[in-house]
Chain A
Amino acid sequence: MSRPDIHDVTPVPVRRYGQQFGAVVLIVFALLFAQNLATNQNIQWPVVAQYMFAPSILSGLGMTILLTVLAMVIGLSIGVVLAIMRLSDSRVFQGAAWAWIWFFRGVPPLVQLIFWYNLALLYPDLSIGIPFGPKLFIWDTNAVITPFSAAILGLAFTEAAYAAEMIRAGIQAVSGGQVEASATLGMSRSQTLRRIVLPQALRIVIPPIGNDTISMLKFTSLVSVLALPDLLFSAQMVYARTYQTIPLLMVATIWYLVLTTVLTFAEHAIEHRLSEGSPPSKRSFQKRLFDMRPFRRQKEFSA
């Protein structure tokens, strides 16, 4: 038997029978599921289509987006302040930030929403005044705490607690040399923080903030317990009347998926933009460990 010259032949690629079998099984399941979705009469696709863009559903969608945006903006703003307090050298500031994080991370958001909504039972009126002295302004708690403000408080304060820890880690990951370099250029503390430290910390923190935004979008559905007409509650209102439970849940589900998909793409785009100037990823070899393309051609050799 004579072997061909090693330079004339292409080696037979590594066979991946296990992965090929697994892939076939998954594809079969996916097809079955797709067929079921398409043919199951209980879903009532025409009803889904009818309500997809109904005014009440769209205004619920708007409410969900508004809640998400407001809760994230307020939460992140408070989170930056909390993170800076945690990093300050004052025990009092550290302690206050620690207490906030401890409380709002520890209490489930649903409990908080109900609690904020019922604040009037604890404090019948809210006032601004001189501590231990006269009150200057007084409001009736029931006028201040609406379902909307209760929802914002509960969601934003919880987010602030999580964001504070992320942002603190991000700030700590920026090297001390950056602050020293800024100081020797004559920058003030706030200039150093705003122009040098936070932009670098932000890059590190963008992926977890993206995750949090997606979680927040889903957490907003909790506000339906306060009868606040978000996407879920609007869908519930319709099926309470028409008993078309599954089609309306499908409408809500599809909208939530659309929003989370958009957010995922937005996050990738922002991450990509912010990564200017950062070192190239060294992960390409690590990826080979999880190489799962069962029907892949080995291109390396054909070149």
Chain B
Amino acid sequence: MTMPLLKVERLRKSFGDHEVLSGIDLSVNEGDVTCIVGPSGSGKSTLLRCLNHLEKPTGGAIFLQGEPVGVRWRGDRLYEMSFNEMARQRQKMGMVFQGFHLFPHKTALQNITEAPIIVKGTPRHQAEAEGMALLEKVGMPDRAHYYPRQLSGGQQQRVAIARSLAMKPALLLFDEPTSALDPELVGEVLAAMRQLAEEGMTMLVVTHEMLFARDVADHLIFMEGGVIVEQGNPREIMTSPRHERTREFLARVLPQAV
């Protein structure tokens, strides 16, 4: 049994005295697609944001490729990492946001090439060639020189995915990547994600798209009230959930056809 790519142990997070995550344990194997589902307010976004330390966890440990995230041993003492030390680990965990967060003052291609050029020192012509290849992969090579405001929501999200891929992360986090999109634009983003999954990208996806979870995910996690209630094979959980709370949630969100 090989070491999991990402391992989370007893992760806790409170805002003030409001505990949002109450001890999360999970692991993600290389090449796996893991979907996280659960009702609003159950702590899904907070979990993702703790993984790359956009929020500082209150307790527990996170390991990426066996290395503790956000902290560092020196002798037998554990030290917090600074923002800039964290940057190296954040590179390995790309993130795609519900609200895209493209850089509005840069074209689609510049959005993609910016980080490779300034963070990794990739030569511009090489970054641009790779950026064009990524745009092709998400199906919009003809929009390279458009600014984000000139793109539809679905196109913006596909550029955002390409932007994350440009840093060649080991793991890609998605926080409800299609929730801000008009229904007819959801499909194109899911198709791009499905293609990534087929190419073996390791992905951790918070989503309300149950069909995507069923068809693409290798592993499904159901969260409620800051804990993982149930996890396992997506089809098994959807057809025969073991917990009453999972059953209730699925009854609310599952399209009848499943």
Interface flags for A183-195 (1: CB within 8 Å of B; 0: not) read: 1111111010001
Assess A181 versus B103: contact at CB under 8 Å? Given A186-B88, A187-B115, A187-B119: yes
Chain B nearest CB, measured from A124 CB (Å): 44
Chain A nearest CB, measured from B186 CB (Å): 20
Q: How far is the CA of A187 from the CA of B114 in the complex (A)?
A: 10
Q: How far is the CA of A186 from the CA of B89 in the complex (A)?
A: 7
Q: How far is the CA of A188 from the CA of B86 in the complex (A)?
A: 9
Contact residues of B between 88 and 136, Cβ < 8 Å to A: 88, 90-91, 93-95, 97, 99, 101-107, 114-115, 118-119
Interface residues on A, range: 20 to 34
Chain A nearest CB, measured from B85 CB (Å): 10
Assess A184 versus B54: contact at CB under 8 Å? Given A177-B97, A191-B118, A277-B104: yes
In contact, A188 and B149 (Cβ under 8 angstroms): no
Chain A nearest CB, measured from B87 CB (Å): 5
In contact, B103 and A186 (Cβ under 8 angstroms): no
Query: Which residues of B sit under 8 angstroms from A183, Cβ to Cβ?
Result: 52, 54, 83, 86-87, 90
In contact, B149 and A277 (Cβ under 8 angstroms): yes
Assess A185 versus B101: contact at CB under 8 Å? Given A195-B114, A195-B118: no
Q: Which A-chain residue is minimally distant from B53 (CB atoms)?
A: A183
Interface residues on B, range: 20 to 34
Interface flags for B20-50 (1: CB within 8 Å of A; 0: not) read: 0000000000000000000000000000000
Give the one of B107, B118, B163, B173 with max A CB within 10 A. B118
In contact, B101 and A188 (Cβ under 8 angstroms): no
Chain B nearest CB, measured from A271 CB (Å): 14
Assess A196 versus B103: contact at CB under 8 Å? Given A181-B97, A185-B167, A187-B87: yes
Query: Which residues of A sit under 8 angstroms from B234, Cβ to Cβ?
Result: none
In contact, A184 and B164 (Cβ under 8 angstroms): yes
Query: Which residues of A sit under 8 angstroms from B105, Cβ to Cβ?
Result: 199-200, 203, 276-277
Q: Of A175, A189, A203, A279, which is within 8 A of B149 by CB? A: A279
Q: Of B87, B102, B147, B160, which is within 8 A of A186 by CB? A: B87
Assess A188 versus B148: contact at CB under 8 Å? Given A178-B103, A183-B90: no
Q: Which A-chain residue is minimally distant from B89 (CB atoms)?
A: A186
Query: Which residues of A sit under 8 angstroms from B115, Cβ to Cβ?
Result: 182, 185-187
Interface status of A180 (Cβ within 8 A of chain B): yes
Query: Which residues of A sit under 8 angstroms from B173, Cβ to Cβ?
Result: 184
Interface flags for A218-246 (1: CB within 8 Å of B; 0: not) read: 00000000000000000000000000000
A-B interface contact total, Cβ < 8 Å = 79
Q: Of A180, A200, A276, A278, which is within 8 A of B97 by CB? A: A180
Chain A nearest CB, measured from B218 CB (Å): 23
In contact, B104 and A185 (Cβ under 8 angstroms): no
In contact, B167 and A186 (Cβ under 8 angstroms): yes
Query: Which residues of B sit under 8 angstroms from A180, Cβ to Cβ?
Result: 54, 95, 97, 101
Query: Which residues of B sit under 8 angstroms from A182, Cβ to Cβ?
Result: 115
Q: Which A-chain residue is minimally distant from B150 (CB atoms)?
A: A277
Q: How far is the CA of A181 from the CA of B114 in the complex (A)?
A: 12
Chain A nearest CB, measured from B116 CB (Å): 9
Interface flags for B76-89 (1: CB within 8 Å of A; 0: not) read: 00000001101110
Interface pairs (29), CB distance under 8 Å:
A175-B101, A177-B99, A177-B101, A181-B103, A183-B52, A183-B83, A183-B87, A184-B95, A185-B90, A185-B164, A186-B88, A186-B167, A187-B87, A187-B118, A187-B119, A188-B83, A188-B84, A188-B119, A189-B84, A191-B119, A199-B105, A200-B103, A277-B104, A277-B106, A277-B107, A277-B147, A278-B104, A278-B149, A279-B149
Which A residues lie at the B interface, using CB under 8 A? 175, 177-178, 180-189, 191, 195-196, 199-200, 203, 276-279
Known: A187-B119, A277-B149, A279-B149. 7 other contacts (CB 8 A): A175-B101, A177-B99, A178-B103, A184-B54, A184-B173, A188-B83, A195-B118
Which B residues lie at the A interface, using CB under 8 A? 52, 54, 83-84, 86-88, 90-91, 93-95, 97, 99, 101-107, 114-115, 118-119, 147-149, 160, 163-164, 167, 173
Closest 6 pairs (CB-CB, A-B):
A186-B91, A277-B147, A185-B115, A177-B101, A181-B101, A184-B95
